[in-house]
Structure 1
Amino acid sequence: MEVKNFAILDYVVFAALFVISSGIGVFFAIKERKKATSREFLVGGRQMSCGPVALSLTASFMSAVTILGAPSEVYRFGASFVLFFIAYTFVIIFTSELFLPVFYRSGITSTYEYLQLRFNKPVRYAATVIYIVQTILYTGVVVYAPALALNQVTGFDLWGSVYATGIVCTFYCTLGGLKAVVWTDAFQMVVMVVGYLTVLIQGSSHAGGLHNVFETATNGSRLHILDFDVDPLRRHTFWTISVGGTFTWLGIYGVNQSTIQRCISCKTEKHAKLALYFNLLGLWIILICAVFSGLIMYSHFRDCDPWTSGIISAPDQLMPYFVMEIFATMPGLPGLFVACAFSGTLSTVAASINALATVTFEDFVKSCFPRLSDKLSTWISKGLCLLFGVMCTSMAVAASLMGGVVQAALSIHGMCGGPMLGLFTLGIVFPFVNWKGAFGGLLTGITLSFWVAIGAFIYPAPDSKTRPLPLSTDQCILSNVTESFPQVLPNRPAIADAWYSVSYLYYSAVGCLGCIFAGMLISFITGRQDGKDIPPLLIRPVCNLFCFWSKKYTTLCWCGVQHDTATDQENLENDSAWKQGTESVLHNGLRQESLANVPGYDPKDKSYTNMALEKITHF
């Protein structure tokens, strides 16, 4: 393959991304130097507004893997990828209306802190360890995979980009904390959209306009979007994308520390919800850009597919190869696209480092040393950012040695996300589930999701389920590379063509539903949780979403939890004085006597301070 090298202007544009990102970290380090508390560093003092948080949320979950991989998906398998807009919509609705209110009102910093309040410490620590391992592994791949694709097509230095990404992310995370991460993400989101738009404009111009793009895509069967086949073995159908995609994204989005940490950093719950809904617009925009990029790319390569002809060695190289072709005579613009791709990487890595530091500090350090000073807590938080920055960069180095295991590593997020989603759903939606059910459900969900995913890796699905749409090489000068697709291996066990061939988008659903059903069954066997022992703020049964239910059914769904006090508590929480007082309680080491800081506190009627009391009990 002929490697087309960057011009000097491309390097200048790319370097500007890193300089500005680092500068934002320095700015917030100087600006916030007098607010030296771990709370300020990790959750921005809970004073963020919805705008930058919405941009940050979109950027954090639109990694370079998405920017390079999604157009390639559309190019090879068609525009059915656009159906993810349905999944994104359901994910945001469930997150904002079901999970967010519980997390925001409970005053937690780590999402896994909720699991201790609802169940116990072993459940919390098990979930935290799983999250840390999956995030480090995934982040390493997010850094390495796009760097490798760009290196092989553009000649961009592989290890230079890997180390630069790790160093810059660690630098601004450690200096500026969450505020630096959020505002840097907002800037990087703008870069991502501008990079995509330049590709769309120039690509459609090369194709002779959007009309020609759609005509070519139609002739190539790329616009066959609605496939209502219910076969779960089909890779992409309406059902696998809309249903399976909802489970997948809800597992890595709705209860993910990176998401919730940004939401609880907002000044009010209303701002947090607005951030999520504005973020939905961002997700739609990136999705539409990716789909159009894939269609334009197909129009450009309709007579000479660079993948099957051997010009490039992997589908992820399609997008950068396309960019280098259409911008061959326009120095600076290839650099802008690479900056677009690495903006996705930077935002994802920074979000991961910040979230890892938060859960480690809150779940382990603070639990072991509850009386740390503010200054020491801040330094420990910064040290954790530095530690995880080094670990994530090192994981990128390890990913280069993993060979075929990289594909398995990329699915780790979905494999772990489903059981995590099931665990939090058990705690929030089903008040009768006890800690034994939660722990057993988590183990069951993890076992099922890993079983099907690892089985699929060992025994790839038959070609008929995963083979791309037709790709032409009629006008290519073929390289000495033969077309390669997954082959049906001899002596395949019967389970391989059924269980192991399930669409990868159902991995999260398998883990989530397995966790929920096992958790409920174990709870019934071992004795249901007494609802009177659960603070109402930790529960949000589905009946909350249906106001037309009678009081009788509402009481039944709350399973003994004192739900009558929930409305009063919710109203009190929206009162700024109440919030400031309660935060003072938590800030002062959760001591019983500090409850006097809560306005209107009556020692004879403590119903509305259940959360603070619950924290005191557990800590």
Structure 2
Amino acid sequence: MEVKNFEAWDYVVFAGLFVISSGIGVFFAIKERKKATSREFLVGGRQMSFGPVALSLTASFMSAVTVLGTPAEVYRFGASFLLFIISYAFVVLFTSELFLPVFYRSGITSTYEYLQLRFNKIVRYAATVIYIVQTILYTGVVVYAPALALNQVTGFDLWGSVFATGIVCTFYCSLGGLKAVVWTDAFQMVVMIVGFLTVLIQGSNHAGGFHNVLEHSRNGSRLNVVDFDVDPLRRHTFWTITVGGTFTWLGIYGVNQSTIQRCISCKTEKHAKLALYFNLLGLWMIAVCAVFCGLIMYSNFKDCDPWTSGAISAPDQLMPYFVMKIFDTMPGLPGLFVACAFSGTLSTVAASINALATVTFEDFVKSCFPHLSDKKSTWISKGLCLLFGILCTSMAVVASFMGSVVQVPGIVHYITPYTNIFAKKLCLISYYVLFFSKGALGGLIAGITLSFWVAIGSFIYPAPVSKTLPLPLSIEQCVQTNITATVGPQLSSRPALADTWYSLSYLYFSAVGFLGCVAAGLIISFLTGKQRGEDVDPLLIRPVCNLFCFWSKKCKTLCWCGVQHEQKTEQDYLDSGNARKQGVESALQNGLKQESLAQIPGYNPEDKSNSVKEKTTHF
């Protein structure tokens, strides 16, 4: 492939992304220097508004994998990826109505605190360790992806790009904490949208207009979006995307520390829900932009596929190659596209670093050293950000040995179904409240085992070509005709499971882990005995049946399995919490003595916490 170098304006635009991102970190480090507490650093003092949080959520989970991988996916397999907007809607709905209320009202900082409240420390620590490992692995991929793009379009040193990305992310994350991460993400989200729009506009012009793009895509079968084939071995169908995609993204949004941490940083639960719903609009926007970029790319390359012709060596290079072609005479715009890709990476990596630091501090450091001062807690939190920044950057080296940019995160990120512990408790809560915690731990182990089994098997024995064959690509008008086809190694023998179990669509990996987790949890719990519903704190439960307003109260009560939701409703918790907060704040403002404070309903004089809000968030 002929590599075209950046011009001066490209470097200016690209460097501007790093400078502004770093500047935001410096700004918040200076602005918040007098609020030196780990609470302020890790969760923004729980005073964030929904606007920047919504932009941050979208930017973090629409990484460079989306910028590079999704257009290439659409170019080769068609626009079925657009169906993800359905799974996104389900995921945001379930997250905001089922998961968020439990986490927000319980007053936790690490999502794994819930596991200890609901079960025990062993389940909590097991889930935390799994989360740390899988996040470092996944972050390595999203660091490597934009570095690859930069290398292909400019010839800039690949590993120089990797370390530059890691250094900048670690810098502003360690300096400014969550507020710097959120506001930097908001800026980077704008860069991503602008980058996509420039490609859409210029690419459409090169294709002769948007009507030509649709016509070429229709003729090339790229607009056959809906395929109702129920075969679970097919890579992308309506069912794999809507069902498998919902399971997959629910693990990311519903219980992921990075998401929940930013939601609980909002000033109220209403702001947190608004952040999620506005974030859905952002997810739809990015998905639509990425899909149409793929269609435009196909319209431009329909008669000369650069991959088949040998102009590029991998499908992941399609998007940067296309950008350099259409912006060949427009200095600055190639730099804007690479900045778009890097924006996705910076936001994802920074959010991951902050989340890793939070769970490590809350679940391990505070457990070992419960009486740390605010100053020491803040410095430890900053040190953890630095440590995880180094680890995540180092993992990019490992990511360079993996395969397709779009599917590697699907395998690395989704095969660790620790999230199914939460999903099982909350999505099937009407049943699971009956069980002991031994079922939870056993279910966790079973889910992980099944997911790793199918994922590793799919690496060793790839799915049959008939299940993953791309749509036709032409090279009729290519100048170069010295094309050599490469065929993957053909195994003389394949185990019986190779064409069934190991050939499952990667989007079903999370569903496999979930079902295995539920099945093992049910069996173990029934064998060891069940827990009385009356003994379960209703605050830790969000029954799915309550979402169905047409159900009678009798049916809902039956599905509660003995949990006493009717004795203390959600509004009771909120009213109680507000009353306590107002009473304590009023007492403190009026300089009342400890004896007077003790008269406030719900106030515990033995609680030595210095934060009034900490006394009320558990309601």
1:490 and 1:204 map into 2 onto residues whose CA distance is 46
Residues 583 and 511 of structure 1, relative CA distance in 2, 3 Å threshold:
farther
Aligned to 2:33: 33
Structure 1, residues 579-613: CA drift from partner, whole Å, max 9, x if none? 578999xxxxxxxx99967952278xxxxxxx979
> Does 2:301 correspond to 1:301?
yes
- CA change 1:183–1:397 in 2 (3 A) is same
Structure 1 residue 553, shift from structure 2 partner? 3.2
**TM-score, scaled to structure 1:** 0.92
CA distance in structure 1 between the partners assigned to 2:97 and 2:423 by the alignment: 14
From the superposition, tell whether residues 126 and 612 of structure 1 become closer, same or farther in structure 2 (CA, over 3 Å). Answer: farther
Question: How many pairs are equivalent?
Answer: 601
Note if contact 1:38-1:381 (Cα within 8 Å) is conserved in structure 2: yes
Gap change, CA 1:404 and 1:536, over 3 Å in 2: same
Shift of residue 427, structure 1, vs aligned partner: 5.6
Change (3 A) 1:598 1:468: farther
Deviation at 1:577, TM superposition (A): 4.8
Separation in 2, partners of 1:245, 1:582: 46
Residues 214 and 172 of structure 1: CA distance in aligned 2, closer, same or farther (over 3 Å): same
Secondary structure of 1:415 counterpart: coil
AA matched with 1:420 = T
Q: Secondary structure at the match of 2:475?
A: coil
Shift, 1:523, TM fit: 1.0
Residues 551-562 of structure 1 aligned to structure 2 (within 5 Å) = 551-562=553-564
Provide the residue aligned with 1:345 in structure 2.
345
Secondary structure at 1:110's aligned position in 2?
A: coil
Structure 1 residue 433 displacement after superposition: 2.6
Alignment check: 8 A CA contact 1:581 1:597 kept? no
CA distance in 2: counterparts of 1:527 and 1:365, whole angstroms: 34
Q: What is the distance in 1 between the residues matched to 2:327 and 2:230?
A: 42
Q: Is the 8 A contact 2:420 2:444 kept in 1?
A: no
**Partner residue in 2 for 1:215:** 215
Moved more, 207-216 or 481-490: 481-490
1:161 aligned residue: 161
3-state SS of 1:20 partner? helix
TM-score (norm 2): 0.92
Counterparts of 2:460 and 2:173, CA distance in 1: 38
Give matches, 1:76-155, under 5 Å: 76-155=76-155
Confirm whether residue 601 of structure 1 aligns to residue 602 of structure 2: yes
Deviation at 1:159, TM superposition (A): 2.0
Cα contact 1:154–1:320 (8 A) shared by 2: no
**Per-residue deviation, 1:398:** 3.5
Q: Name the structure 1 match of 2:476.
A: 474
Q: Which runs of 5+ in 1 are unaligned?
A: 585-592, 604-610
**How far does the alpha carbon of each residue in 1:469-524 deviate from its partner, in whole angstroms, 9 at most, with x for none?**
00111122447653346565321112111111111111111111211122122111
**Aligned letter for 1:372?**
L
Q: Give the Cα–Cα distance (whole angstroms) in 1 for the partners of residues 616 and 329 of structure 2.
A: 66
The within-5 A match list for 1:9-88 is 9-88=9-88
- Corresponding residue number in structure 2 for 1:236: 236
What is the alpha-carbon distance in structure 1 between the residues aligned to residue 468 and residue 176 of structure 2?
45
CA distance in 2 between counterparts of 1:594 and 1:576 reads 21
Deviations 1:281-333 (A, max 9, x none): 00000001001100000000011101111111111110000000000000000
SS in structure 1 opposite 2:497?
helix
Asked whether the equivalents of residues 21 and 184 of structure 1 are also in contact (C-alpha less than 8 Å), the reply is: yes
* Match status 1:442 vs 2:444: yes
Displacement after TM superposition at 1:569 (Å): 5.7
Distance (whole Å) between structure 2 residues aligned to residue 293 and residue 267 of structure 1: 37
Secondary structure at the residue paired with 1:55? helix
Aligned equivalents of 2:603, 2:159: Cα separation in 1: 61
Structure 1 residues 454 and 109, CA gap change in structure 2 (3 angstroms): same
Equivalent residue for 2:454, pick from 432, 437, 452: 452
* Cα deviation 1:121-160 (Å, max 9, x = unaligned): 0000010000000000110111013312330233133222
- Partner in structure 1 of residue 607 of structure 2: none
CA contact (8 A) 1:408 1:457 kept: no
CA distance in 1, matches of 2:80, 2:584: 48
Decide which of 500, 508, 511 is 1:498's aligned counterpart: 500
CA contact (8 A) 2:139 2:396 kept: yes
Aligned to 1:538: 540
Q: CA RMSD in A?
A: 2.6
What residue identity is the alignment partner of 2:113?
Answer: E
User: 450-459 vs 149-158, which deviates more?
Assistant: 149-158
Q: Which amino acid aligns with 1:434?
A: F
The aligned residue for residue 413 of structure 2 is: 413
Aligned-residue sequence identity (percent) comes to 77
Alpha-carbon shift at residue 534 of structure 1 (Å): 2.2
From the superposition, tell whether residues 164 and 388 of structure 1 become closer, same or farther in structure 2 (CA, over 3 Å): same
Q: How do 1:349-364 residues align onto structure 2 when only pairs under 5 Å count?
A: 349-364=349-364
Deviation digits for residues 17-52 of structure 1, max 9, x if unmatched? 000000000111111111111111100011000000
Cα displacement (A) at 1:226: 1.1
CA distance, structure 2, for counterparts of residue 487 and residue 364 of structure 1: 46
Match of 2:574 in 1: 572
CA contact (8 A) 2:141 2:408 kept: no
Unaligned runs of 5+ in 2: 587-593, 605-613
